[in-house]
Amino acid sequence: MARSALLNVMVQAAMKAGRSLSRDFGEVQNLQVSMKGPGDYVSQADRKAEDILFTELSKARPGYAFLMEERGAVAGDDGQHRWLVDPLDGTTNFLHGIPLFAISIALERQGQIVAGVVYNPAMDELYTAERGGGAFMNDRRLRVAGRTKLTDAVIGCGVPHLGRGQHGNFLVELRNVMAEVSGVRRLGSASLDLAYVAAGRMDGFWEVGLSAWDIAAGLLLIREAGGFVSDFAGGQEMLEGGSVVAGNEVIQRALLKTVKKPVTPR
């Protein structure tokens, strides 16, 4: 697969930050299990990876703005381009030695996501997409799964936890979905969830309360793999509102309808 100069910049930055995360991931399991020790260590790994991404992307494309998990918004002189970057999506997995975490980089041009990279360094899986150019995993072309019945589908989701999310609302959504599908999965990394939908590993995905840097690259991956995405209202305000429902055309539509319906009393 021939990559554009832009995508090469993004891939090289992700790979460099990925090497840093891989080294830290190899050490995290040796740390004393306490809130202060591992928590601080993971934060340092996160910040170190973000520093690498910021430096590499700024050097390659001076003047582009940033929206990053740690730094927040960083203004640029360009005015038309913005990087959306999550240096470590799946921090809890990383902390516990679970190899499901990723670097996510997307480029927004005049309000549209035009390129995206999701990289899992623990498994050396690199997902890339450019608008109009298709989606790939390690140079293999991706297509969303072709299943058209929820009863045959495996659906991914995010699960709210201590101090985050609307637990009651999620339990309603989960009860609705689990009654209709073949299986439900929770990976713990939204960018990988979306990449797995693009790769056909999962048939669909839903979650609320996400940040733009979590999902921007993954949304493009799904679209370029032939899939469909919307927010919970059926619109296209995913980056602004933080809700996502994804799948192929039929599954996405059916999943959106399912998560929004009220629970039937039993």
37: which 2 tokens?
A: 């020790």
- CA distances to 160, 174, 199 from 168, rounded to whole Å, are 10, 10, 31
Residue 249 assigned to a binding site: no
- CA distances to 32, 46, 116 from 35, rounded to whole Å, are 9, 16, 33
Measure the CA–CA gap between 49 and 103, rounded to whole angstroms: 9
Residue 207 assigned to a binding site: no
**What angle do the packed helices 36-60 and 5-28 form, to 10 degrees?**
160
Residue 203 assigned to a binding site: no
Q: Map residue 113 onto helix, strand or coil.
A: strand
Q: State the pairing for strand pair 204-207/244-247.
A: antiparallel
Measure the CA–CA gap between 122 and 132, rounded to whole angstroms: 29
CB–CB of 135/127 below 8 Å? yes
Residue 89 assigned to a binding site: yes
Residue 21 assigned to a binding site: no
Query: Which residue ranges are tagged as binding site for Mg(2+)?
Result: 69, 86, 88-89, 214
Query: Which residue ranges are tagged as binding site?
Result: 69, 86, 88-89, 214
